[in-house]
Amino acid sequence: KKKKKKSMSTSRKKSRSSAATADSSKEIKALASSTSTSARATLGDAPFVRGAVVRVKLTNFVTYENVEFFPGSRLNVVIGPNGSGKSSIVCALALGLGGKPNLLGRAQEVREFIKHGAQEATVEIELASGSPNKANVVVSRLIKMDNVSVWKINNRTASHKEVLEKIRSMNIQVDNLCQFLPQDKVVELARLDSCALLKETELAVGGPKLLEQHKKLIELREVQQADHRELAESKAKLENLQRENELRKVEVEKLRQVEEHKEMMAVMQARKPWLEFEILRKRLDDLKLDLTDKKMELAEAAKREKPIERLIKRHKQNAKKLDEESDQALNRTRSSHQQMKNHNSRLATLESKFEACQADLQRAAKEFEEHQKRLVMAKHKVDKLERDLADEPDADSIRDQKNQVQQSLTEIKARVREIRAKKKEIEAELQGNAQIAAIKRELKQLENERGRRLENLKRQNRDAFNAYQWVQARLKSPDNPFKKEVLGPMCLEINCPNPEHAKYLENLLPKWMQTAFIFLDPDDRALFSDEMRDRQKLKVTSMYTPSVHAAAAEPQRIARKEDLARFGINNWIDELFDALPVVKQTIASQLPLYHCAVGTSKTEQCIDAVLSETPIESLITPTTRYTATRSRYSSNRSTTVQQLKSAHLFTASGDSTRQDELQASLKRLEFEQEEQKEKYRRARGEEDQWMQEQQKVEEQKNQLDKQVQHRRKLERLLEVKRQELADESNEMDLEKRQAAIRKEIAKVNARRTEEVKAMIRVLTLKSTQTQAVIEASLMKLEVNSRISSLETKIQDLRSLTCEIRNAVAAAQTQYDSTTQQARDARSHANRVSPLTEELRAKFLEDRFNVTSMAELNTKFNAAEAKVQSIAVPNPHVIRDYEEALKAIAQLEKQVGQAEATLNAKMEQLRQLKQVWIPTVKEIVQRISERFSGYFAQIGCAGEVALNTRSGAPADETLPPGDSSEDDFKFYGLEILVKYRDSAKLCQLDSRVQSGGERAVATILFLISLQMSSQAPFRLVDEINQGMDAVNERAVFSIVEEAIQESGGQFILITPKLLPELPLESSTVLCVNNGPYMLGQEEWVGAMDALSLSETSL
* pLDDT tens for each residue of 514-562: 899 999 999 999 999 999 988 888 999 999 988 665 444 578 888 888 8
- φ, ψ (nearest 5 deg) of residue 472: -65, -40
* Residue 559, CA atoms < 13 Å, CB-side half-sphere: 24
Return the pLDDT at 431. Answer: 58
Return the pLDDT at 45. Answer: 56
For residue 68, give every residue at least 6 positions away whose Cβ sits within 8 Å of its Cβ, in sequence order, or none.
29, 30, 32, 55, 56, 57, 58, 1080
Q: How far is CA 350 from CA 87, 344, 756, in A?
A: 76, 10, 11
Q: How far is CA 244 from CA 188, 256, 795, in A?
A: 63, 19, 83
DSSP strand pairing (517-519 vs 542-544): parallel
Amino acid at 645: K
Q: Quick one: which H or E segment has residue 348?
A: helix 306-391
Q: Tell me: cis bond preceding 478? Omega within 30 of 0 counts.
A: no
* pLDDT tens for each residue of 138-180: 999 999 988 888 999 998 989 988 888 888 888 887 777 667 7
C-alpha 588/C-alpha 585 separation (Å) is: 5
Which residue ranges in the chain fall short of pLDDT 50?
1-44, 550-552, 653-654, 673-674, 954-955, 960-961
Query: Which residue, among 510, 503, 627, has the nearest Cα to 577 in the 3D structure?
Result: 503
Strand residues in 933-971 grouped as ranges (E)? 941-947
DSSP strand pairing (618-620 vs 596-598): parallel
Are 988 and 1019 within 8 A, CB to CB?
no
State the greatest distance between any 2 C-alpha atoms of the chain, in Å, as a whole number: 159
Residue 31 zone, left/alpha/beta (φ > 0; ψ -120 to 50; rest): beta
> Which sign does the torsion angle of CA 331, 333, 337, 338 carry?
positive
Return the pLDDT at 29. Answer: 34
Burial category of 992 from C-beta neighbours within 10 Å (exposed 0-12, middle 13-18, buried 19 and up):
middle
Return the pLDDT at 124. Answer: 95
Return the pLDDT at 1082. Answer: 73
Are 137 and 165 within 8 A, CB to CB?
no
For residue 986, give every residue at least 6 positions away whose Cβ sits within 8 Å of its Cβ, in sequence order, or none.
976, 977, 978, 992
The torsion of the CA quartet 308, 310, 314, 315, rounded to 10 degrees, works out to: 20
C-alpha 696/C-alpha 706 separation (Å) is: 16
114 DSSP 8-state letter: B
Burial category of 975 from C-beta neighbours within 10 Å (exposed 0-12, middle 13-18, buried 19 and up):
buried
- Three-state SS string over 199-215 comes to HHHHHHHHHHHHHHHHH
Query: Which residue, among 687, 694, 690, 691, has the nearest Cα to 427 in the 3D structure?
Result: 687
